[in-house]
Structure 1
Amino acid sequence: MSLRQLLSRSADVAASSGGDGRFPLWLRSRERNLWLCTVAVMLIDVTLTINGLALGLEERNPVARAALAGAGALGLYGLKFAALLVGLCCRVLVPAPVRPLVPLALAVPSAIAAVVNSVLILSVVA
């Protein structure tokens, strides 16, 4: 099964998952807000990472560590920007009913990282 067939099948499942189809429409109508939340969560994650580094914590992600070594804090912003670009490219490829899942797929890991960063910063400060 090709990627296009798999995505098309996912769209069919998503379109029928709401019983009367309102769930995907509800989610689609909020896609712009999901992208804005994704950008906000990513900025919070980078900001907390930079603050944690200033407090003596270390970056555990080897890709982010390399970006920090190469370009400092701008490297982290660049990584998030690159992730957003990949997400926007993926958005074009997926069928309309599942497009709101793209910003969610980007936001959830960043939100988890932001929570972990918050806890680590609080453990150092407290």
Structure 2
Amino acid sequence: MPLFTTDPTAFDSSTIDEYLGAVSGSVSDLELLLWVLVCWALVLDIVLTAYGLSVGLVERNPLMRQALDAFGLSALALAKAAAVAVALVFRALWPEYALVAPIGLAIPWVLAVVFNAALLASL
């Protein structure tokens, strides 16, 4: 099935359903849950980092510290977006390893959230 065509009648509802099925593949409930966890961890990490920086804490990652100094919190958001983009490309290229991408993001980001929350709670 061509992705692009000049024939406006080439697509009907069955073609669209077929295309969407091919694009989405089969997303398991576990994979969906992991991607939701990734999204929550991403947001919480940015929020907790922003709050920590506002109360005088310092970013421990030297590369991110330089990026934050130069570009502010948009650097953190951009880095997170880039990581998600890489994970989604990985997921698209190797669907048989669908759980690897969200697990690879969820584990370090959830750990960062837990660490940041504990650090902020101890202040």
Tell me, yes or no, whether TM beats 0.5: yes
Give, in whole Å, the separation in 2 of the partners of 1:37 and 1:64.
22
Give, in whole Å, the separation in 2 of the partners of 1:106 and 1:60.
19
SS at match of 2:79: helix
Task: Give 1 or 2: higher helix fraction.
Answer: 1
Shift of 1:60: 0.5
TM-score computed with the length of structure 2 as normaliser: 0.72
TM-score computed with the length of structure 1 as normaliser: 0.70
Aligned partner of 2:71 in structure 1 is 71
Q: Over aligned residue pairs, what C-alpha RMSD do you find?
A: 1.5
Give, in whole Å, the separation in 2 of the partners of 1:29 and 1:123.
36
> Could you list the runs of 5+ residues in structure 1 that have no partner in the other structure?
1-26
- Greater radius of gyration (CA): 2
User: Aligned partner of 2:112: which letter?
Assistant: A
Give, in whole Å, the separation in 2 of the partners of 1:70 and 1:91.
32
What's the CA shift string for 1:43-100, capped at 9, x where partnerless? 101110111111111001122112211210111111100110111111122242x211
**Aligned length in residues:** 97
Aligned partner of 1:112 in structure 2 is 111
> Could you list the runs of 5+ residues in structure 2 that have no partner in the other structure?
1-26
Shift of 1:29: 3.5
